Structure 1
Amino acid sequence: MISIIIPCYNSENFVNRALDSVLKQTYSNWELILVNNNSTDGTQGVLDAFQAQHPDRVRVYFETKKGAPAARNTGLKAAKGEWIQFLDADDEILPEKLAGQIELGTSQQASIVTSPYTRVSNRDGNYFEVPRSIYPDDDWSALILSNMGITSSNLFKREILMKVNGWDENLIASQEYDMMFRILQLRPKVAFDNTYRTIIHFGSLESVSRTEDRVKGRKILNARIDLRYRIKKYLADNNLLTEARAKHVDTFIYETLLHNYRTTPEDVREILGQLHLDIPLQKKLYGYYFRRKMDFKRLLIKCGIMR
């Protein structure tokens, strides 16, 4: 059986989309665990109504500790399934998602099934695909480069999640990749699913590039960088740090900083000045050009020449 866990925070207006996607699954051996995480809107009413319609398959819980990791852990503890599907309340899974991934995971005797996904902007409705791992034969490189799927697109064995005590409820960013880092230290089998089976909706969720709180944004950015250095240290300590993996760490950090230069240039300049990253000359030149371009654009806006 697959236990589907959906943490819900103020999701009254969109959680039905996720619930409908569960009902459309061709794989029928599932249970659904809904966890209300301190919602202040009508979320609880929506969850209760859905549970009343499907009393044999749906359970509703309330988690008072703030944050999706705490809500997911509540669901994980209550789960009865051998496999776990985490699903964010504003995402949706396509009808063959569970059937396809449990077949792949079982046939490969895997503990994790990772897959690509499709993102859709809640602001303009544009879709674009986030491809599968380009390092299917190197789990560590895929992890370093955030190339192992995303919360709603992956499938986990419950046993492996319990071995690492689930989600770290104290982290403010990179929670899933932190958990996957702990899982990979157990050397599990990871299956890579090449099929797009999940739609991730974004535009309302908080990220470094969107948050208006610069202090919080800096903490999120630091968390992403810190995780890569923790991975690098673990690999070095266990004679697993290849030249390619070390370069992937530096590349990920550099590209993450460039991505955030649009909104937090001061923070990015400070961090770049502190780190010693091994970056190819061509990428360095592009980074220099990109930062100068952003600086010039900000100057034009400040002078009222450009909006």
Structure 2
Amino acid sequence: MREARNERREPLVSIIIPVYNKADFVRESLESALAQTYPNIELVLVNDGSTDSSLAILEEYRSKFPEKIMLIDQENGGVSKATNVGIRASKGAFIQFLDADDLLSPDKIENQVRILEGNSPFALASCEWVNFKNDISQFIRLPYGVFQNYETGLDWLLYSWNKQEMMADSSWLTSKALLNLAGQWDESLSINQDGEFFMRVLLKSEKVIFDPKSKAYYRTLNETSVSKQQSYLAAQSLLDSFRKYQNEILNVEDSKRVRLALKRVYMKFIYDVYPMYPNLIKKAKDLMWKLDINEKVFIAGPKFQKLSRFIGFENALRLKRILQ
């Protein structure tokens, strides 16, 4: 009886899992969610028009765990739309996002709920994320500086943009109240939807609390982030997401440190897409110029930065292209 009473007092955590053609991996992700040591969870599964056997697998799990799983089946509309549908259907006080091929350490949600207890509902919990392919015991760690506490979400953003670091969606645990402030996932974007969404979440958050015990496991498939943006429309959408960064963050703080970080964001875009799509590169350069930051900044690895200092950013890009 004591366990039942304790469970009823625990705030509900909604784990939102959008699924599109992930039949090879989704069972493992569902098992990871169901294996959480935190007792009061619901899984909100949104099948986004899968054409493989994903829906049958989701229906199987829903029939096994009807008290824990809500299943929504819809026509394909993209990950942002599916995630928004999941958020609206969720009942939890906290939201955990999980891609249909990624995994969580069993104590992840419990640790982060405990960390957030007693804090403002606008605090945000994070944890380390690691890369793996098939076996999570063979994960690869990343030496990232974002794996620490930050006094404000703005501080977290500026560090990540300056260092070109990122956070996997599944690393965060957010209150529903904070998500409501940030707004929906942007359904107009086809790439970096999560980066743009969590940019807004972080700008609304009062602080970021790092959980040193938990892990989110990010499955690396054959397609890299750079290869995903090899189409013109994807690159255009990526640049659009960065413009949205600028519009949002300058409304919170318009300062030199913010504009320097934005300059690095646009430089990284040019670095990633060069020499393709000259018109998008020109747009990125124009956006950089309008920031009115004359101070030189350097991006990418130590060798490229050294070369940029010696011959300039654009000449270093040209030389890099020749040597590839």
TM bracket, shorter-chain basis: 0.7 to 0.9
1:131 aligns with 2:149: no
1:44 aligns with 2:58: no
Whole-angstrom CA distance in 1 between matches of 2:130 and 2:203: 29
Match of 2:296 among 280, 303, 306: 280
Shift of 1:259: 3.2
What's 1:244 paired with?
A: 257
What's 2:190 paired with?
A: 172
What's 1:71 paired with?
A: 82
**Cα distance, 1:19–1:80 mapped onto 2, change above 3 Å:** same
What's 2:266 paired with?
A: 253
Whole-angstrom CA distance in 1 between matches of 2:272 and 2:212: 26
What's 1:294 paired with?
A: 320
Match of 1:190 among 205, 208, 215: 208
What's 2:23 paired with?
A: 12
Q: 5-14 vs 192-201, which deviates more? A: 192-201
Instruction: Specify every segment of 5 or more residues in structure 2 that has no aligned partner in the other structure, as ranges.
Output: 1-11, 299-304
Q: 283-292 vs 159-168, which deviates more? A: 283-292
> Secondary structure at the residue paired with 1:197?
strand
- Contact kept, 8 Å, 1:4 with 1:31, in 2: the verdict is yes
Shift of 1:151: 1.3
What's 1:106 paired with?
A: 117
Shift of 1:190: 3.4
Deviations 1:247-283 (A, max 9, x none): 112123223322333x737467534643325453664
Matching residue's letter, 1:229: Q
TM-score (norm 2): 0.78
What's 1:149 paired with?
A: 167
Match of 1:115 among 127, 132, 146: 127
> Secondary structure at the residue paired with 1:117?
strand
Shift of 1:184: 4.5
What's 1:304 paired with?
A: none
Deviations 1:115-171 (A, max 9, x none): 33112357xx87242625268234214224355633111111112223444322222
> Secondary structure at the residue paired with 2:188?
coil
What's 1:301 paired with?
A: none
Whole-angstrom CA distance in 2 between matches of 1:293 and 1:206: 23
What's 2:245 paired with?
A: 228
**Cα distance, 1:193–1:249 mapped onto 2, change above 3 Å:** farther
Shift of 1:292: 3.3
- Contact kept, 8 Å, 1:63 with 1:74, in 2: the verdict is no
**Cα distance, 1:44–1:170 mapped onto 2, change above 3 Å:** same
- Contact kept, 8 Å, 1:132 with 1:149, in 2: the verdict is no
What's 1:302 paired with?
A: none
**Cα distance, 1:41–1:206 mapped onto 2, change above 3 Å:** farther
Identity of aligned residues (%): 23
**Cα distance, 1:142–1:186 mapped onto 2, change above 3 Å:** closer
Whole-angstrom CA distance in 1 between matches of 2:38 and 2:121: 19
Q: 27-36 vs 170-179, which deviates more? A: 170-179
- Contact kept, 8 Å, 2:153 with 2:203, in 1: the verdict is no
Paired positions, count? 290
Instruction: Specify every segment of 5 or more residues in structure 1 that has no aligned partner in the other structure, as ranges.
Output: 299-307
